[in-house]
Amino acid sequence: MIEPPQRKKLPQYNSIEDAVELITKSKKILVLSGAGISTSAGLPDFRSRNGIYVQIHAEHPDLSDPKSMFDIEYFKKNPVPFYQFAKALYPGQYKPTIGHRFIKCLEEHNKLLRNYSQNIDTLEKQAGIKHVVECHGSFAKATCTNCKYNVDGDVIRNDILNRKIPLCPRCHSINEGPEVKLGVMKPDIVFFGEQLGDHYHSCLESDKNQVDLLIVIGSSLKVRPVALIPRSIPDHVPQVLINKEPLDHMCFDIELLGDCDTVIKELCSRLGHDWIDMLRVQATPLTQIIGLPLPKTALDDSDSSSKSKKLGSVIPTDEIDDSKKISKNIGLDKSSLIQSRVVDTDALNSSPLVAERLAIVDVEKEIEVDRDMPDRAISDCDRSSDEEWEDVEILPQTSSSSDSDSQKKLSLEVPETSYYFLKPNRYMFHGVELTKAQYERFAREQEKISEQDPTLVQ
């Protein structure tokens, strides 16, 4: 699949103050939201330690890949797993979160260009957001897999809530007989292997030339083509990430990591009282701590833990150095080196979205690790365009024990009243999760920054 090359970080944007200023000044903000924006409503996300994929694996251990539940070819053969879990995702059981209300605030302030939602829970519409594209469809409608009869989602509501497979009433009435195979009423959500609608492509084709700020909220950006949106807009457009975990395969100018609601409340407390009032919450400004928080789960490498202790100390706000003193990231470790692929740049320049019209795909299903690559220090985002790193993706780990250990998720000790700042552009709030490999890499990066200028890390 043709995809745009990795962008480079914009060095002038680093701090949370920069993020607030960008939101204040921007007029056409594009928000890309994923499952993480809905978790505080009670909806499970997909890839976290307690997410849907983990639950599917526990209930269906014979299912080799839990993501197959959302694969259209698997669904045609066996729709049972999907309908057993559809109840947990079905709309009407949940209410919009602070994240949804924040997007509505952007719209009320005439700043929202579009909200591209990867979710199927319809909470954006419940929040009253008008400029929204439901990229992966929703439960609002359902279509027969046999005769294509289309109905409102309420028609199959009772079956889904009772974990039953809804059968097509039209097939039953037209084709009676014991040998007739009835069609299954499939909600109009986009499965892996299905095309995204024309509405998505036409909106993106227009919006990518107007957007002046991209904010990604609660998405792992591992499902294409929506995951390619950050690479499809012009490189000069600032990009801000609000997510529980960092995304090693993407490049954002400012990373605000932790529970989406916690991060958004801190942003809105800085944006002004009218923003907090519209969120209908109370927000107390948080205390900033410089450095890397300790993990709740002990690392095997005691040296990494000792380093983190040196890196975390509270400092008064008026003594915080200007984060713009550092504009580049420090080297990646070997576990983050990645396999390059050849890009058809002519095809890319002529029609960057055509190749993504085919189907929705999961990045993790298509790529594998190159273990023979040399240990090479490269910037998180500043890869040279004339080297083999131009078109890259972070790759899933193989099944070796050392790789599996490095990908274990660590919850970090971040109090709800504070957040940690890792220079130059990464913040960690309550709820942040890192893999062991990411934690160790960040510790090394902060150590290198400290070696360059000891005053920058307290």
Beta bridge partners of 191: none
Instruction: State the Cα–Cα distance between residues 383 and 447, nearest whole angstrom.
Output: 22
Q: Is 163 left (phi over 0), alpha (psi -120 to 50) or beta?
A: left
- Which ranges of 132-197 does DSSP label H, i.e. alpha helix? 157-161, 169-174
Determine which one of 57, 100, 136, 273 is catalytic. Answer: 136
Q: What is the DSSP letter of 390?
A: S
Find out whether 429 and 262 touch, Cβ atoms under 8 Å. Answer: yes
Whether residue 199 lies in the annotated active site: no
Find out whether 366 and 395 touch, Cβ atoms under 8 Å. Answer: no
State which H helix or E strand residue 152 sits in. strand 150-152
For strands 418-422 and 239-243, give the pairing. Answer: unpaired
CA distances from 254 to 382, 413, 434, 445 (A): 14, 21, 17, 16
Find out whether 133 and 199 touch, Cβ atoms under 8 Å. Answer: yes
Q: Which residues are catalytically annotated?
A: 136
